[in-house]
Structure 1
Amino acid sequence: MKRMFIAIAALVAVPAIAYAEDPIVGNWKTELGDTAAIAACGGGYCITLQSGKHAGKQIGTFRGKDGSYEGKITDPSANKTYDGSLTVSGNALKLKGCVMMVCESQTWPRL
């Protein structure tokens, strides 16, 4: 009985394994100076503007991991949605959106 108690106490004392968030999660500064929050949602990640003219609007949904993501990005001013990709390198997020054969990109720093 005493051995069982010690074994249970030892298991309880083991710290929980900490899992790091994916590098895309966090707040980013858009090229217009607004804050965009990226958080886990629906098995992927959503981008929601936190400040500026379109605050509260979700402008993107992406899937991926470890710094490389694919999905959809919306230009909130034109209200048009494009196929896009995101890559995270350190504290920089590079977005690329394409329609037909025309692509544009932006780089957002982490806040």
Structure 2
Amino acid sequence: MIRRFVAAMALCLGACGGAFAAEPIEGNWKTASGETAAIEKCGGGFCITLKTGKFAGKRIGQLEGNGGEYSGSITDPAEDKTYGGSGSVDGNSLKMKGCMLKVFCKSQTWSRL
């Protein structure tokens, strides 16, 4: 009985592996203000660069992580202030959060393009 269970689990891990894969953060995202932000690998993490709008070409963040959960820094391009930040991928949504002193936080949800 135990052998069958172990064999079934091994088979599922091989066949179901894609179902448990982390959702990628890389790609183009529509921000809450309507601009397009590109998230690409850079160094050991991911860089966020605005592709459209008034601040096109400006890097506004750097995150590290995997499995759909990321943390790092986020910059408000209008004020040019950088905050501790995080991102959480859920399908075609990316919830971004920036905090000052880990107490005062703002969140936005971006959509995958």
TM-score (structure 1 length as normaliser): 0.80
1:12-51 equivalent positions in 2, closer than 5 A: 23-51=24-52
Larger mean Cα displacement after TM superposition, 21-30 or 43-52: 21-30
- Relative distance call for 1:21 and 1:40 in structure 2 (3 A) is farther
CA–CA distance in structure 1, aligned partners of residues 31 and 71 of structure 2: 18
Structure 1 spans left out of the alignment, 5+ residues: 1-19
Structure 2 spans left out of the alignment, 5+ residues: 1-20
CA–CA distance in structure 2, aligned partners of residues 48 and 27 of structure 1: 10
> 2:84 maps to which residue?
83
RMSD, matched Cα: 1.4
> 1:110 maps to which residue?
112
CA–CA distance in structure 1, aligned partners of residues 22 and 57 of structure 2: 23
Structure 1 segments of 4+ aligned residues over 6 angstroms from their partners: none
CA–CA distance in structure 2, aligned partners of residues 22 and 46 of structure 1: 17
The AA in structure 1 aligned to 2:75 is: T
Measured after TM superposition, the shift of residue 66 of structure 1 is 1.5
The AA in structure 1 aligned to 2:82 is: T
> How many residue pairs were aligned?
92
Identity rate, percent? 61
- Relative distance call for 1:57 and 1:39 in structure 2 (3 A) is same
CA–CA distance in structure 1, aligned partners of residues 74 and 48 of structure 2: 8
Measured after TM superposition, the shift of residue 98 of structure 1 is 0.3
Which of the pair is proportionally richer in helix? 2
TM-score (structure 2 length as normaliser): 0.78
| Greater Cα radius of gyration, structure 1 or 2 | 1
